[in-house]
Chain A
């Protein structure tokens, strides 16, 4: 392992995004490039218009659903764990546990191994394979919830609170804000696992990705389009919609909607109040503080680069624990944090 081959010499932040020089590719670039490796389908990571795209089969399917022709000129699908040569580098994608198809990017060059986490979480998610720990020399981590105040409770408790609310307010429709990719399908799966067998009513914007998940074998049960329900107030039923549609005019036809929102940001009460949410559900697809720090320990990297979120706090923690930490500013990341997380 030569010192001059240290990743800081070949893995750099450029105006297009994070660039791997010996492989001549970008990871999750936010502007169109010649070759991009994409970690997952959320819009702040997967942008349209690249010439060649490398990603998991699921991520490519998501990009095609969202962008159609603009998903990329040539799409190269890889399986988890499959090894790939790109330029002088060896690259593989391993599960990140964030959403369907989400992956960490493992790059090896000059005797160094770098892992780029993308977005990830460590807890169980019925809709995608679990995060895989890959020991490495440099770990590049997200830090969306990089403060010790973020400790996401068990999902079952949050789903339990939703179901309890339905028993106390059976005359109200319960309207749950969920991001269209990942959160929606996970909340649906968790509800099914908690024994909720009734049809779930979804906003039209959630339809394409729910269909896509079902196509990949994720069991979602019976879904009905809430936007097509006529003359029914859906009292005591669960409706799911993108957060931006929570308080919009289409909700007026339902029975006294009780606004809920599933997001890691709901941990902080003031955040929930700002959004007029009556039932905040702390369900996140991102690692909380405990998961972030546990991951840093488990990958055993002597050096950690922290990208979007509360970088300073995680860098501070790394230093306290004998890990070289540095903040890496990536432009355009986390723009959708409020919605996605």
Chain B
């Protein structure tokens, strides 16, 4: 448990992806089987222990610690697992430290009434960090900033393999993944995974600028709208069906309504959307559904999921990926006619003639849910990753707004000595600046140095790592859309805000009115 708790403890404080990868690999190389396999399961969200609930932890702690002191401690720390881990009275005479594998295996088979007894014995045998890791593990949600994809990437680097190769076998394997580690350490052949509902790495596109259009032979391409949802892969095989995000994370549990209509065997690539009465809803509506592991009936009714399909990777057991796009499209249309699945439709082909028409189409593309156009080379097979010259996204120009810098926060890692995260605002009706968003990208290193100096020279207040600055600098901010938001004082939230230009020249009085931005809510 010690190595695992140390890993979690480091991950929780480490903002940088590359560093997290190193820490996880270091753990895989130091920890033993089956512990590391269970750790992998925990990091990738494969574990759940329905018998262990926060109420059990609370009740257990109150048998061992003064309730008043526990309450004050909880008020101070603000996190139940952490408070319980810290106030649990040590029993130094107990020197049996449970192994992660032992914990995971016993908890999976334990009945609800056995859980408190097991937990008590383990808490006695662990140090505070170990207790914290144990409690985080059993209450679900480690919240150490590691996605399923990141854990798999670390695994791939640990074993010198491609992530795509790991993905191909992943869903056929179960914790504690002994055969997986044996293969990655060169002690065994790759695990053989029978036809199961596994994720197939996606084909991704490159951004296309208007100036690059003339170099493209448009007659070789097929166009579709680029929908403003999230990319998803629906896999149905041997009676199993799963829905994956673009990174191969299993998001099926959030979308039971979509999976319930599956009565076929195929692998589909498409855009996950919310459709209300046949109309595509806003990204804001889709967001209500994202990340909800067990959506309520009300949520399912109000925000029904929809898949707009644009590619067919497998038809039954037949791998169509080597076929040209145009051929796969023909097969997709035939397949769709045959199955007519509910909650799905086909992404329409948009006829194109020349560059001028394409630019016009993009400009006029103000329909809800359209971000621009996709151009796919008719002859291209389905290739994993982001191969050059096959698929292009031709996105609508972002909106821009001139906003006033209000707060700056220190960055992380390499940027920890720089004020690199900027909160900016617009003028409300009373002529007061209100924050509308935060951005930390879109500038060069040289510009960052200058911004950092400006922040230091114009600080009027400090709150920990944050500085409030005298209003005096205008930032041109680019963003993809405006959403209404109850969480923000301004009532709006910008989607994908980034700094597009620093307007050293512009007076702050000429910055944006909040009212103008409200009109863009879509």
Question: Which residues of A are at the interface with B, using a C-beta cutoff of 8 A?
Answer: 147-151, 153, 161, 165, 168-169, 247-249, 251-252, 256-257, 259, 267-270, 272-280, 290, 310, 312-313, 316-317, 320
Contacts and interface: CB of A to CB of B under 8 A. Distances in A.
Given A153-B128, A268-B76, A277 B465 contact: no
A270 B464 contact: no
B82 A269 contact: yes
Given A161-B6, A252-B417, A148 B65 contact: yes
Quick one: which of B6, B69, B78, B82 has the most chain A CB within 10 A? Answer: B69
B367 interface: no
Given A148-B87, A149-B83, A277-B13, 5 more contacts: A165-B10, A257-B416, A274-B464, A276-B465, A320-B66
A275 B6 contact: no
DSSP class of B's interface residues: helix, strand, loop or mixed?
helix
A108 to B, nearest CB: 34
Interface stretch (B99-107, B295-303, B406-414): B406-414
B484 interface: no
Quick one: which of A161, A269, A317 has the most chain B CB within 10 A? Answer: A269
Interface residues of B, number: 37
A149 B26 contact: no
B352 interface: no
Contacts of A280: 13
B10 A279 contact: yes
Contacts of B69: 147-148, 313, 316-317
Contact of B417 (A249, A313, A320): A249
Contact of A149 (B19, B87, B412): B87
Nearest to B413: A256
A151 B90 contact: yes
B509 interface: no
B22 interface: yes
B77 A273 contact: no
A278 B13 contact: yes
A302 B455 CA distance: 55
A269 B12 contact: yes
B417 A149 contact: no
Nearest to A256: B414
Contact of A268 (B14, B82, B127): B82
B141 to A, nearest CB: 15
B251 interface: no
B79 A270 contact: yes
Nearest to B72: A313
Top 6 A-B pairs, shortest CB-CB distance: A149-B86, A148-B87, A149-B73, A247-B416, A278-B13, A168-B26
A87 to B, nearest CB: 40
A62 to B, nearest CB: 29
A267 B78 contact: no
B207 interface: no
Nearest to A279: B13
B22 A168 contact: yes
